[in-house]
Amino acid sequence: MLEIKGLEKVYPNGHHALKNVTFSVPQGEFLVVIGLSGSGKSTMLRCVNRLHDPTGGEILFQGVDTSKLKGKALRKIRADIGMIFQHFNLIPRKTVMENVLSGNLSRTGIVASIFGIHSAEVKAQAQKYIEIVGLKGKEKNRADNLSGGQQQRVSIARALMQNPKILLADEPVASLDPATSHSVMQYLKKVNEELGVTVICNLHFLSLVRQYAHRVVALKGGKLIYDGKPLEINEEWFKTIYGEDAVEVTIN
């Protein structure tokens, strides 16, 4: 499904964020990426859908190397890759419905999208996804007036609207409280299991990792240092990934 080979990223300021990262993700997997802040997790996700341009290596998405694509071909690949963010990144002052519909922009004409013209079919689809994330009845509410957990669910619905083959989640619960975190993770799990969407998710809390991940990769200083089952991360691995002084914090 997704193969990352020798991925390198050096920022213009000289920061070497990713060093020869190689791993692959099979169809339908729920993969979690862990590591300290600044270890390159976000950079790696953003290289997959080219919000950042990698400086070396290959990213094969369904057999196509995405790292050199441009223009229309790039937008087509991006449309197949959904993404949700730590700070939700919804469009301010717009309703839940408008935000979810924005997931369909790649398949809407420029003029039609500016005037907000969508077919009944597309609207029904948006309605369906709003219901899947449990926000029925909130379609006309302004998205920025919702709680954090609800906003993140809107952003999941927006990503689903793309009809993605893969869903990237960059710290989806890092700005949410523990109870809401679980609810959002449950929705991601549902998306993964019921809709069969492959998920790559950056997480901080190991307790969440053990509960939701099929497989875990860990980054440290831009290098991939662990690739395996979540339950195999023992005390020793924990210290290696997070440093000697780290203490595990649980979230229930």
Partner 1 sequence: MKQNVHKTPNKYVQSFKAYVLDTLSWAYLALISYKIVYEKIIIDERYPEFTWNQPLLCLYIGLALAAVLFFTKFSLGRGLFGLIKYDENEGPTSQPFAYIGYLLILLTFITGFYVSQISMKEFLSESGLEGAKRIFKALFNPNWAIFEEGLFAAIETIYMAFIATAVAIPIAFVLGFFAARNLMNGNKISFFLYNALRAFLNISRSIEPLVWAIIFSVWVGIGPFSGMLALCIHSIASLTKQYSEQIESIDDGPIEAITATGAHPIQIVWFGVVPQIVLPYLSYTIYRWDINVRMATVIGLVGGGGIGNLLMQYQGQARWNEVGMLVILIAAIVWTMDWASSKLREALK
Judged by CB under 8 A, the residue of 5, 94, 215, 220 near partner 1 is 94
Place of tokens 């019921």: 194
152 binds partner 1 (CB under 8 A): no
Q: Does position 52 bind partner 1 by CB under 8 A? A: yes
Binding of residue 75 to partner 1 (CB under 8 A): yes
Distance CA 226, CA 219 (A): 7
Pick the piece of the chain touching partner 1 (CB under 8 A) from 100-108, 117-125, 211-219, 222-230: 100-108
Does the footprint of partner 1 cover residue 35 (CB under 8 A)?
Answer: no
Q: Which residue has the tokens 């369906």?
A: 128
First and final CA of the chain: distance in angstroms? 32
| Tokens describing residue 244 | 């000697």
252 exposed, middle or buried (CB, 10 Å; 0-12, 13-18, 19+)? exposed
- Contact segment (CB under 8 A) with partner 1 among 97-105, 130-138, 191-199, 215-223 equals 97-105
How many residues bind partner 1 (CB under 8 A)? The answer is: 41
Q: How far apart are CA 151 and CA 80, in angstroms?
A: 22
Q: Binding residues for partner 1, per CB under 8 A?
A: 11-13, 15, 42-43, 46, 49, 51-52, 75-83, 85, 87-94, 102-106, 108, 110, 113-114, 155, 158, 162, 168
